[in-house]
Structure 1
């Protein structure tokens, strides 16, 4: 429950935030070392205890910003943590400590010129969700339409800049050690995309554009923007009714429902990318709504990524070739995507071909079981085994957001654990390009 004070606002000082993270890292390191010692002694032990997960949620939830986004990311990895610990960390997806109503009302007055009670027929004081950059309140417009009002945390812009500056120092230090370790271009891409999320006017435009990108998929729902109740730090959207994916999946849906929603998720990620060149690049389970009418609702449009024509075209041809089970010039297409390769062609092609072979398993099988899916594990092993050589295969910076999106999709599908003809689902998307 939100308090009426500002004690839940993120600390803004760059070094204050760094100290909190350093303290958390020390506790986390001790927890992991203790677990490792037990494993060496032949005892069963989890990498992260539930108690440490609670501390992570408390600290990252208070910090919000980029720190909280990191917590959201690790909460999605099915191979890293136990279901119990992941369930604790999943609170970071939309249940962060909420700011008090007085602060919410102050931001709305500053941004829209009047108190919530004057702008809306109804405005719930308790938030529906509280996430990394802002929290969402249910409200009703004067014409009776229910809406979701997202209000940005005061000071979160400074907090996000501070987090990214701290991380940037680490990236710069590592990059100076070796050319092959230079990650500055990828960090710059991620930094720019994250900072752009602070502008809710931009998010409103992206949401309106995504309505068009998803228009041909009748089983998907993108909310309408209420422009007259939106600004740089307040965004009002049509309210979607249903359960977020993370809440829906714990209700043990039937196998048929699991497959239906999994199909919708694939269409939600690959459809707009292949058909319109843009992708939802923050696909954690709190950003999808299983609606009462059977559609899949999409939430949070601050991280919609629009790609270059070259990137989309080459990926489109690679996708169609994979669906047709055709032989492809994998290395040539990778270079067209924008990959820079410093390995002999035969070595590079073998490494990239294996990535596509692992990732493409559901695209080749008429009966794939995501409950026993080992794509994530096998991909990690492939990268670990060939780590030095992979440093000489460098994707374009814009690929960072593509990998963030498709990697999140794979983790969501594993979370749902559906079984069925997923090749048929991908063929549906491919047929839209014919």
Structure 2
């Protein structure tokens, strides 16, 4: 864990944060250019050096907030970096520089009326995890129950607001330059959802809703919320035993174990989506716990997204028809889901159909090997080749969080690298919730 110093609190000034990001962009950009030249000469296969990755972790970990969330996304894509560099970036998932214990105690005292030593029977001075908006400490309640206490970084609300102002200016400038590149609605959706994560009372309510949504899936576990010790900036919940997914994969689990956990991740994503119109939209590997009793623990509920019934129903029909290998009106279903299309029908249909063809491989092929999965690469290439046309196929704003969740699921399944009957797993989901 990083040094215990108040200097690690996120800088909140808008210009300071912008300046740090700009400097980071220049340093990493130079590194990428050098790496690109080496790749062209065949002297290196790295896109990002370990030194540049360390700089990314240092700066984004210091900034926390939206900047750190971006780093978490980068850390999940194996196509961008080597395994060694990815291991460095993975520290952003729950090992950011931590704030001092004195600062933690001050927040607890302000929120719960007394310092941690009085509120809890035991309270660890060292955090279990330090993430983008707060850090988690292990504790024991007065009744003897184990707890995880998430304490929000002081000043993070202001820091996050400034990040959104800086990013919003970029989006606004691009949108004014071209109607086709108007991303203001998507940015607003992302901004609204991210700022809502600051309210831990809301997160407590979402955790309880999500627990009810996954209750039929007995191999999943959502920690119980300890309401008397939870406020707007302190969230106390049951402490789950086990290893975070990102650490569990390094223990050399068998294929049978990897398939079990991969199946659980699919269930954790699509079960609540089809069963309760909700999805966990922050799926980095630090948010899933492989428990000793065989269950998969799901953590961090600030990004639980609720969808419109029409969006869920259109996606349900897409899944069922794909699994049944039935003829699919992909354009019609996309329009039902809320997409707007500014291309001729046949052209749009072919464009979207290829997306479904690439993404649907595990639903058509059995067995399927996620260790050699090329879906993210092929999807990226498809979008790159057809970038101008995709600008004329616009998903509804609510799809932003859906794509974040399902894209993260695909990356986690690649990380696990299991081989097996995934078509059967999706069929199980369709039969249960179809």
TM-score (norm 1): 0.99
C-alpha deviations, 1:187-233, integer Å up to 9, x for none?
Answer: 00000000000000000000000011000000000111001000000
What is the alpha-carbon distance in structure 2 between the residues aligned to residue 194 and residue 59 of structure 1? Answer: 20
- Superposed CA deviations along residues 361-398 of structure 1, whole A, max 9, x for unmatched, are 00112200000000001001111111111000000000
Conserved in 1, the CA contact under 8 Å of 2:2 and 2:96? no
CA contact (8 A) 2:339 2:396 kept: yes
Shift of 1:318: 1.3
Which secondary structure does the structure 1 equivalent of 2:400 belong to?
helix
1:252 aligned onto 2:252: yes
Shift of 1:3: 5.0
1:268 equivalent in structure 2 = 268
2:164 counterpart residue number: 164
Q: 2:7 is matched with which residue? A: 7
After superposition, where does 1:4-83 map in structure 2 within 5 Å? 5-83=5-83
1:118 alignment partner in structure 2: 118
- The Cα offsets for residues 140-181 of structure 1, whole Å up to 9 and x where unpaired, read as 111111010000000011111111111111111111111110
C-alpha separation in 1, matches of 2:55 and 2:252: 28
Secondary structure of residue in 2 paired with 1:136: strand
Q: Is the Cα contact below 8 Å between 2:4 and 2:98 reproduced in 1?
A: no
SS in 1 for 2:232: coil
Give 1:346's aligned residue: 346
Conserved 8 A contact 2:151-2:235? yes
What is the SS of the residue equivalent to 1:381? helix
Measure, in 2, the Cα distance between the counterparts of 1:148 and 1:228: 14
- Distance change >3 Å, CA 89–CA 5, structure 1 → 2: closer
**1:432 match:** 432
Distance in 2, matches of 1:92 and 1:172, equals 29
Q: Is the 8 A contact 1:5 1:103 kept in 2?
A: no
How far residue 4 of structure 1 moved from its aligned partner, in angstroms, is 5.2
Q: How far 1:324 moved relative to its partner? A: 1.3
Contact 2:271 2:433 in 1 (8 A): no
For 1:191 and 1:397, the matched residues in 2 are separated by 11
Question: Which deviates the most, 32-41 or 277-286?
Answer: 32-41
Q: Distance in 2 between the 1:239 and 1:267 partners?
A: 22
Report the counterpart of residue 394 of structure 1 in structure 2.
394
Contact between 1:342 and 1:393, CA under 8 Å: does it hold in 2?
Answer: yes
Q: Is 1:108 aligned with 2:108?
A: yes
Q: Note if contact 1:371-1:419 (Cα within 8 Å) is conserved in structure 2.
A: yes
Matches within 5 A, 1:397-416: 397-416=397-416
Counting only pairs closer than 5 Å after superposition, residues 259-408 of structure 1 correspond to structure 2 as 259-408=259-408
**How many angstroms apart in 1 are the aligned matches of 2:216 and 2:386?**
41
Distance apart, 1:23 and its partner CA: 0.8
Give the Cα separation in 1 of the matches to 2:133 and 2:327. Answer: 45
Distance 2:388 2:108 in 1: 51
RMSD: 0.9
Q: Could you tell me which residue of structure 2 aligns to residue 87 of structure 1?
A: 87
Contact between 2:14 and 2:163, CA under 8 Å: does it hold in 1? Answer: yes
- The C-alpha deviation readout for 1:260-283, integer Å capped at 9, x for no partner, is 000000000011001110000000
Change (3 A) 1:45 1:368: closer
* Matched pairs, number: 434
Q: 1:427 to 1:5 in 2, by over 3 A?
A: same
Question: C-alpha distance in 2, partners of 1:115/1:2?
Answer: 23
Tell me, in whole angstroms, the C-alpha distance in 2 between the residues paired with 1:359 and 1:2.
39
How many Å separate the matches in 2 of 1:290 and 1:316?
28
CA distance in 1 between counterparts of 2:40 and 2:75 reads 26
Q: CA deviation at 1:2?
A: 6.0
Residues 154 and 432 (structure 1 numbering): CA distance in 2 closer, same or farther, change over 3 Å? same
1:113-141 per-position Cα deviation (integer Å, ceiling 9, x unaligned): 11111111110010000000000000011
Q: Which moved more, 1:145-154 or 1:316-325?
A: 316-325
Q: Give the match for residue 133 of structure 1.
A: 133
CA contact (8 A) 1:4 1:102 kept: no
Deviations 1:231-272 (CA, angstroms, capped at 9, x unpaired): 000000111000000000011111111100000000000110
Give, in angstroms, the shift of residue 42 of structure 1: 3.5
Q: 2:251 aligns to what SS in structure 1?
A: coil
| Gapped regions of structure 1 (runs ≥ 5) | none
In 1, the alpha carbon distance for the partners of 2:38 and 2:360 equals: 37
C-alpha contact (below 8 Å) 2:246/2:286 kept by paired residues? yes
What secondary structure is seen at the aligned counterpart in 1 of 2:67? helix
Separation of aligned partners in 2, 1:4 and 1:38: 39
Q: 1:112 to 1:2 in 2, by over 3 A?
A: farther
Deviation of 1:344 (Å): 0.4
Is the CA contact 1:5–1:102 (under 8 Å) kept in the aligned structure 2? no
SS of residue in 1 equivalent to 2:19: helix
Does residue 418 in structure 1 map to residue 418 in structure 2?
Answer: yes
